[in-house]
Amino acid sequence: MFKKKKSEYDGLNILDLIPIRMFEFEVQEDEKVTLLIPKFRDKILGKYLQPVIKKKFYKVKLDSLGSFVWTQCDGRTTVNEIAERLRQKFGAEAEPAVDRVAKFIQHLYRGDCVKFSI
């Protein structure tokens, strides 16, 4: 019924890809991240409607694990390295770290929150 989004990264191992953040974010005192996703991503709509509306962003609050992963998506670190850092910081709470990080990064990619570098 629904077609799966085609990607130039199909067939590549997600653990070898380097995620890059596409949106701004805020970090609270408890180190949790809130993503600021623009309501209008289209350049034409955004140019005319963004200045008029009061709330320009959707705010998506991440938990501590998601916040850590988001901050690690710096354009230099592979998904596998992020999973290892998550495991080191959170220990057993993060297990299975590789699967969790891979699925979360895929979710972010499908939502156009990250892009990949190879």
Domain hosting 33: range is: 14-117
Domain membership of residue 107 (yes or no) is yes
Q: What does the pLDDT look like over 73-85, one tens digit per residue?
A: 999 999 999 999 9
One-letter amino acid at 82 equals I
The structure tokens listed for 50 are 């963004």
> How does the average pLDDT of the chain come out, rounded?
85
Evaluate if residue 55 carries a pLDDT over 50. Answer: yes
Of 100, 67, 66, nearest to 83 (Cα)? 100
pLDDT confidence of residue 21? 94
Tokens found for residue 46: 């955004």
pLDDT at 10: 65
**24 lies in some domain:** yes
Residue 60 makes CB contacts below 8 A (sequence gap 6+) with: 34, 35, 37
Domain containing residue 90: CATH number: 3.90.930.60
Q: Omega into 96 within 30° of 0, i.e. cis? A: yes
Establish if 30 belongs to a structural domain. yes
In a domain, 96, yes or no: yes
In a domain, 25, yes or no: yes
pLDDT band at 56 (very low <50, low <70, confident <90, very high): confident
pLDDT score at 1: 45
* Structural domain contains residue 3: no
Q: Report if residue 46 sits inside a domain.
A: yes
* 24-27: strand order across its sheet: 24-27, 33-38, 57-61
59 in any annotated domain: yes
**For residues 59 and 13, what is the distance between their CA atoms, to the nearest angstrom?**
30
> How many independent structural domains does the chain possess?
1
**Rounded CA Rg of the chain:** 16
Distance between CA atoms of residues 99 and 89, nearest Å: 16
The 10s digit of each residue's pLDDT in 14-44 is 889 999 999 999 999 999 999 998 877 666 6
